[in-house]
Amino acid sequence: MTKIRAAITSINGWVPDYILTNDELSKMVDTSDEWIITRTGIKERHILKGNGKGTSVLGTEAVKGLLKKTGISPKEIDLLICATVTPDMQFPATANIISDKAGLKNAFSYDLNAACSSYIYSLVTASKFIEAGNYKKIIVVGADKMSSIVDYSDRTTCVIFGDAGTATLLEPTTEDFGIKDAILRTDGSGMIHLHQKAGGSVRPASHETVDAKEHFIYQEGQAVFKFAVSNMADIAVEIMKKNGLKSEDIAWLVPHQANLRIVEATARRMGIRKDRVMINIQRYGNTTSATIPLCLWEWENQLKKGDNLILSAFGGGFTWGSIYLKWAYDPK
């Protein structure tokens, strides 16, 4: 029987207009442009402003743009998975809200949360529906309004994160393209280093949790950095070895953009030259579920059919993973 693979056939990104610069942050907390650039590589990030605007706004704009770009009717979409750590609300799923706003009348939809690895986990999940043979068009949204859970008086986290939305279209192919392999990992003991303390069933929202700022990101930066550097590089090297790939076989490394130093360490371990690594952290910061697809979207015109790509991410949970895919189309 012919093997069906899931291939990315189009991609779109959307970022809000407002740009929060390092200089503006320097007026809000005790930090500097120089510190932020040296330690993280970030120069600016986009922020979604306006009351009542959540992650679904980012995702819906990205999906509408994708449908316009491809000329596909919203009714043709079978499934939408929204990778996010900042859903509009606890329930219903943000994916449902996006599907409704974008007119996806025939799609079922749900959210998937694996922190900064949400996009990689979602892409793998979506690919299985396609490989099973009964789903033809799936959209993976990677969207996060990180500014909704960032404490803008905490200099250790507020300089890192930004907001963005993306939409990735997956379709079946029987050719030798698309998602070829993936490795996903989880280690729940890492939870102590990176989490949001309140708002879940353990510590429901109360005056006390709000006063204690427990609805914001809690991150032990150095500990997370250590795990991220080793695990992201290890898993990228593991997927290369598993598929008999040498560094010269890889056209692009597409890493999660958490910190430029983590990205560079991963590329070094894989033996990949810096000009073969997609890096846009300087303009967007860490947009969690949107970092990897934002890169693919920005580099889309440079990608050629048959290019070998390694996607790699590490995030809260801890969660991490790598995907090996063969790009399925030439620039249009």
Residues belonging to the active site = 116, 256, 286
Count CA atoms closer than 13 A to 296's CA, side-chain side: 32
Q: What number of other Cβ atoms are within 10 A of residue 245's Cβ?
A: 18
The residue among 31 and 230 lying less far from ligand UT7, judged by its C-beta, is 31
Q: Which of 14, 121, 135, 225 binds ligand UT7 (CB under 6 A)?
A: 225
242-281 residues in contact with ligand UT7 (CB under 6 A) are 258-259, 262
Q: Which of 228, 267, 279, 294 binds ligand UT7 (CB under 6 A)?
A: 228
Helices (H), the chain: 22-28, 33-40, 55-70, 94-101, 118-131, 155-158, 207-211, 221-242, 260-270, 281-284, 291-299
Q: Find the part of the chain contacting ligand UT7 (CB under 6 A) among 36-44, 64-72, 169-177, 245-253.
A: 36-44
137-166 residues in contact with ligand UT7 (CB under 6 A) are 155-156, 159-160
Q: What is the largest CA-CA distance in the chain?
A: 62
> Least distance from C-beta 97 to ligand UT7, angstroms?
25
Answer yes or no whether residue 39 interacts with ligand UT7 by CB under 6 A: yes
Q: Which of 168, 286, 312, 319 binds ligand UT7 (CB under 6 A)?
A: 286
> Least distance from C-beta 101 to ligand UT7, angstroms?
27
Q: Compute CA distances 267 → 88, 158, 262, whole Å.
A: 35, 26, 9
The residue among 131 and 264 lying less far from ligand UT7, judged by its C-beta, is 264
Instruction: Give the integer Cα–Cα distance in Å for 117 and 158.
Output: 20
Binding mask 204-223 for ligand UT7 (x = CB under 6 A): -----------------xx-
Instruction: Give the integer Cα–Cα distance in Å for 65 and 167.
Output: 8
Q: Which helix (H) or strand (E) holds 310?
A: strand 308-315
Residues in contact with ligand UT7 by the rule CB under 6 A:
31, 35-36, 39-40, 116, 155-156, 159-160, 221-222, 224-225, 228, 258-259, 262, 286, 315
